[in-house]
Amino acid sequence: MLRLLNSRWLTLLAFLVFGAGLGAWGMRLYFDRTLARWDPQERLVAHLDAELGLEASQKDRIGATLALAKDRMEERRRAWEEEVRRQGRECEDAVAASLTPDQLRRFSERHEQIHSDVERFLWASRGATSAVAAEGPR
């Protein structure tokens, strides 16, 4: 009886493991075929086309506008990230300047954890999200 019970559990376990493996393989296949070629710009143009029925020339102009905006935003993002890093370092330096030598030693030993705590503090949001879509005509 015990042997039969164990074989049933092993069979069930084997099916569960096989199912999990098959599911993981299927998800990987799906993501490789869909998200590997996922271009947000093309996807937005396709969405606008489906919603608004764009003409070919409109798709081209909108695609070019999005590409230009993306490039400009990337330039600004890089400069902005450097400024944020600099301000984070200044904040950590100011905190370190307020510490005793023993506290500074412990601060230095735990720098990575403290750095992530300071970064979380600096990025904490006090209000609503900044990306709000306005409805209606502009």
Task: Give me the tens of pLDDT residue by residue for the chain, a chain 138 residues long.
Answer: 556 567 888 888 889 999 999 999 988 888 777 766 677 888 889 889 999 999 999 999 999 999 999 999 999 988 888 888 888 888 888 988 999 999 988 888 887 787 777 777 766 654 444 343 434 444
Residue tagged 């376990």 (tokens)? 13
**Pair 95, 118: CB distance under 8 Å:** yes
Q: Copy the structure tokens of residue 19.
A: 């199912």
> Using CA atoms, how far apart are residues 77 and 85, in angstroms rounded to an integer?
12
H/E segment holding residue 35: none
